Amino acid sequence: MGLIAAMALVVLPALGRDVDGRYKESPLHGWFEHLASGKGLCCSYADGYAIQDADWESKDGHYHVRVPNAPNSENMVWVDVPDEAIITEPNRAGRTMVWPLYSFGGVSIRCFMPGSMT
């Protein structure tokens, strides 16, 4: 029974926030709610957040991002972004954003939206 409860915590959706941390107040709220990658909807299943240019890179045609190794952790790890996690529509937020997912197996990337690296 405990294992089932623990697994439910991993797969239950988290309430997403807009770039500025406010939910439903941002004019981009509707856009964020429908934002999706090849892995599915972004905000419906993971909290996305803006990352600094130093925390992402493009190398050999693939993206890598530096994210916390666990929710609310200060320990950061570099994670490869799967091609299907890349958001291909124009970035209306203007900043690089990532939606990590945490599970027993570690951290993976559900959605990634590159910024301009300026």
Q: Report the distance separating Cα 97 and Cα 1, nearest Å.
A: 36
In a domain? residue 28: yes
Is residue 90 situated within a structural domain?
Answer: yes
118 belongs to a structural domain:
no
Query: Which residues does 93 contact at the CB level (< 8 Å), separation at least 6?
Result: 19, 28, 32, 50, 113
Residue 53 lies in a domain: yes
Give per-residue pLDDT as tens, 86-112.
999 898 888 999 999 999 889 999 999
- Which residue segment(s) compose the domain that 108 sits in? 2-113
Total number of domains in the chain: 1
Closest by alpha carbon to 69, among 57, 61, 77, 80?
Answer: 77
Tens of pLDDT along 31-54? 888 899 999 988 766 678 899 999
Quick one: pLDDT at residue 4? 41
Tens of pLDDT, residue by residue over 73-90, are 999 999 999 999 999 989
